[in-house]
């Protein structure tokens, strides 16, 4: 896990309907908030704005990335985290912005959450994966997401990881459209889904 952290009062929404609004960070050392500079760069690569659609913030932490997606036009975000402190912080941030009606928040393991969501037949235009560095088998997780058909046609899959971690090539199911790094520690890989693949 990266030692580069931001102060609680430095977290904010970068652009969109809630630009400049402050967000609370999860207390303690278990989460690693994405800095404002990196967040701004991420969404420049992802859009930077959206015309509706559903977002899944799978290792949500404080909810900063999923909230940024809502601010930039996503219709709804589902936030998943297994830590109670994270869930409480997400709910506080949503309440502060009065956007609880655009969100669902669940305390769950990522794999179990994917299984539950697949039964609801939801397709996400954007899925955000920002787990603790070095703790996730990305290839296994991405295949699980694809096998459960959670990513919409032309949907985007964002992965934040340690700079030394190489993410898999997944063509033709997913095309790696962006790869970058920040601050010598943060790696970013963005995939895009093409046509639906029949298993």
54-57 and 76-81: which strand pairing? parallel
Owner of token pair 């539950």 = 116
Q: Which residue has the tokens 């655009």?
A: 102
How many Cβ atoms sit within 10 Å of the Cβ of residue 127?
24
Q: Which two tokens stand for residue 168?
A: 């898999």
Residue 24 pLDDT: 94
- How are beta strands 174-182 and 186-193 bridged, if at all? antiparallel
Q: What is the pTM of this model?
A: 0.90
pLDDT in tens, the chain (199 residues): 333 343 444 589 999 999 999 999 998 755 667 778 888 889 998 989 999 999 999 999 999 999 999 999 999 999 999 999 999 999 999 999 999 999 999 999 999 999 999 999 999 999 999 998 888 999 999 999 999 999 999 999 999 999 888 888 888 889 999 988 887 788 999 999 975 444 4
Query: Within the chain, where are the H helices?
Result: 36-46, 64-71, 84-97, 110-118, 138-147
| Residue 16 Cα distances to 43, 47, 67, 70, angstroms | 11, 12, 10, 8
Spatial strand order of the sheet with 151-162 comes to 103-107, 76-81, 54-57, 124-129, 151-162, 186-193, 174-182
Q: Does domain 8-193 have CATH number 1.10.10.10?
A: no
Q: What is the CA radius of gyration of the chain?
A: 15
Would you give the DSSP letter of residue 162? E
Per-residue confidence (pLDDT) for residue 10, from 0 to 100: 55
Beta carbons within 10 angstroms of residue 42's beta carbon: 25
């Amino acid at each position: 896990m990266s030692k580069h952290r931001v102060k609680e009062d430095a977290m904010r929404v970068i652009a969109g309907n809630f630009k400049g609004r402050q967000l609370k960070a999860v207390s303690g050392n278990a989460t690693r908030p994405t800095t404002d500079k990196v967040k701004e760069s991420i969404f420049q690569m992802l859009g930077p704005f959206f015309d509706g659609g559903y977002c899944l913030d799978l290792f949500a932490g404080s909810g900063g990335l999923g909230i940024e997606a809502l601010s930039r036009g996503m219709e709804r975000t589902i936030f998943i985290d297994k830590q109670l402190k994270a869930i409480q912080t997400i709910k506080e941030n949503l309440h502060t912005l009065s956007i609880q009606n655009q969100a669902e928040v669940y305390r769950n393991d990522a794999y179990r959450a994917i299984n539950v969501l697949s039964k609801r037949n939801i397709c996400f235009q954007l899925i955000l994966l920002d787990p603790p560095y070095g703790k996730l088998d990305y290839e296994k997780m991405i295949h699980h997401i694809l096998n459960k058909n959670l990513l919409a046609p032309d949907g985007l899959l964002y992965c934040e990881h340690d700079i030394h971690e190489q993410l898999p090539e997944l063509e033709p199911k997913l095309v790696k459209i962006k790869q970058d790094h920040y601050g010598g520690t943060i790696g970013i890989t963005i995939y895009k889904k093409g046509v639906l693949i029949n298993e």
